[in-house]
Amino acid sequence: MTTRNWAEPYKIKMVELIKMTSREDRLNAIREAGYNTFLLRSEDVYIDLLTDSGVGAMSDRQWAGMMMGDEAYAGSRNFYRLRDTVKEYYSYEYTVPCHQGRGAENILSQCLIKPGEYVPGNMYFTTTRLHQELAGATFVDVIIDEAHDAESDHPFKGNVDFDKLDTLVAEVGAERIPYVCMATCVNMAGGQPISMANLKQLRAWCDKHGIMLVHDMTRVAENAHFIQRREDGYRDKSIKEIVYEICSLTDAATMSSKKDAMVNIGGFLAMNDAKFYEKACSLVVVYEGLHTYGGMAGRDMEALAIGITESVQDDHIHARVGQVQYLGRRLRESGIPIVNPIGGHAVFLNATKMLPDIPQEQFPAQALAAALYVESGVRSMERGIVSAGRDKETGENHKPKLELVRLTIPRRVYTQAHMDVTVDAVREVVRRRDEIKGLRFTYEPAMLRFFQARFEQIG
């Protein structure tokens, strides 16, 4: 943060105690977990930076909202509150609740995709691409090249490359592209924003070709923060206004409300088209639940509606992103190679640079995440070749240019001292990097392998 202090706009009313572990405890735990931080028990973790998903601290207002749950099977008052909130803050006419983001992605993909079609997107997300593929589509990456370059400090690495989009249309035809999938604050690129100018251009491009524009809005408020800070003409606009403007430029959205909206579970599919809504309603009953709850309890829809209103408050989002920037800046000052610019929800360590002697086939980022845990009890996760999975045609490993370890900051959970401990831990791992060994699979799941894969050390 450049212009003002990011100090937290809240105080702590309740605490959760965490267990302290020894190095020996952690060595045993990581071996038992097959060197996969997803398979550690949370009890054995000191500072949990695995994800920002579903791990935020709800406010007293959200908890109070939980007591106002209307647990009717049909027509819960909390559903209408949620629907009205989505319309007021995000502009979308219709809301279909889903148990979480991937539930919405499933319904979206099944509604809009026909086998053999192509879905371009500003970088893939794991579950998003899988649902596109399961519906018979091929994902095509159309993000700008800078997004794949950890060194580039382009301010809007989430931007779309229109040459790539035009090439795709020339190759397959616009009629075989059901929609463009546009993510705000692109997770896999390191929490990197798309600019409003690029998004407006994308809107015009989609209109020209008669293609729908679908918004993965999981981190839209964080994206709005970067637009406010970096883009001409937005400095005096509120986060709420910018979020609304982003959403208004798109036709439909999938939301994992476990991120921006600070609830432990939930999500939705939203859209403006009545026919699409009708189709989604008929599918949601198959996979999620009736269209007025879609896998969510009434109380959870209430907490989500309140979370949406809190997520777009300027003070909140500046403190949230400010804490992430603080961690990133301190790591950078310590000479640790990280992805630039520092993103909105996480700091990404460049494992290729930190462990240059471990080839990508031996999963350097996976090994680094395991070593960081053993060093300090800080849990991170791999975002590299393991997460990228295999090509659905050839069975070969996708080989992403970025081999990263993600330190993801939960919202409103950890303090500045926790960030300092994390910096010290990363520095110590770097100091002892010669002890880190490459890994090989002992178990590789067919889909989304990073969640449950197991490894052993080589040598």
Ligand X SMILES: *Cc1c(COP(=O)(O)O)cnc(C)c1O
User: Which residues sit at the interface with ligand X, rule CB under 6 A?
Assistant: 53, 100-102, 125, 127-128, 183, 187, 216, 218, 256, 258-259, 267
User: Considering 37, 51, 95, 126, which one is annotated as catalytic?
Assistant: 126
13 is a catalytic site residue: no
User: Considering 10, 60, 73, 235, which one is annotated as catalytic?
Assistant: 73
Position closest to ligand X via CB? 101
In the complex with ligand X, the residue whose CB is nearer, 258 or 379, is 258
Closest by alpha carbon to 109, among 280, 230, 250? Answer: 280
The answer to whether the beta carbons of residues 184 and 216 sit under 8 Å apart is: yes
In the complex with ligand X, the residue whose CB is nearer, 267 or 438, is 267
Query: For the residues of 393-452, what is the DSSP string, one character each?
Result: TT-PBP--S--EEEEEPPTT---HHHHHHHHHHHHHHHHTGGG---EEEEE--SSSGGGT
- Which residues lie below 8 Å from residue 369, measured CB to CB, with a gap of 6+? 37, 379, 380, 381, 382, 405
- Least Å distance, CB 124 to ligand X, is 10
- Least Å distance, CB 24 to ligand X, is 33
C-alpha 282, offset from chain centre: 28
- Which residues lie below 8 Å from residue 381, measured CB to CB, with a gap of 6+? 37, 38, 50, 51, 369, 405, 406, 408, 450
Report the DSSP beta bridge partners of residue 97. Answer: 268
Radius of gyration of the chain (CA): 21
In the complex with ligand X, the residue whose CB is nearer, 343 or 377, is 343
Helix/strand/coil for 184? coil
73 is a catalytic site residue: yes
The answer to whether the beta carbons of residues 214 and 254 sit under 8 Å apart is: yes
In the complex with ligand X, the residue whose CB is nearer, 128 or 325, is 128
184 is a catalytic site residue: no
In the complex with ligand X, the residue whose CB is nearer, 258 or 449, is 258
Report the DSSP beta bridge partners of residue 179. Answer: 212
CA 60 – CA 376 distance, rounded (Å): 32
The answer to whether the beta carbons of residues 363 and 385 sit under 8 Å apart is: yes
In the complex with ligand X, the residue whose CB is nearer, 128 or 350, is 128
- Least Å distance, CB 55 to ligand X, is 11
420 is a catalytic site residue: no
359 preceded by a cis bond (ω within 30 of 0): no
Structure tokens at 128: 């998003």
User: Considering 35, 125, 234, 293, which one is annotated as catalytic?
Assistant: 125
CA 350 – CA 316 distance, rounded (Å): 28
In the complex with ligand X, the residue whose CB is nearer, 267 or 307, is 267
In the complex with ligand X, the residue whose CB is nearer, 123 or 211, is 123
- Least Å distance, CB 1 to ligand X, is 23
Half-sphere exposure of 426 (CA within 13 A, CB side): 29
User: Considering 48, 216, 251, 300, which one is annotated as catalytic?
Assistant: 216
- Least Å distance, CB 157 to ligand X, is 14
Query: For the residues of 29-81, what is the DSSP string, one character each?
Result: HHHHTTT-GGGS-GGG-SEE-S-SSS-PPPPHHHHHHHTT----SSS-HHHHH
276 is a catalytic site residue: no
User: Considering 81, 240, 383, 412, which one is annotated as catalytic?
Assistant: 383
Parallel/antiparallel/unpaired status of strands 439-443 and 454-457: antiparallel
CA 185 – CA 256 distance, rounded (Å): 13
33-44 exposure pattern, b = at least 16 Cβ within 10 A, e = fewer? bbbbbbebeeeb
In the complex with ligand X, the residue whose CB is nearer, 436 or 453, is 453
Structure tokens at 115: 């086998």
Q: Give the catalytic positions in this structure.
A: 73, 125-126, 216, 259, 383, 450
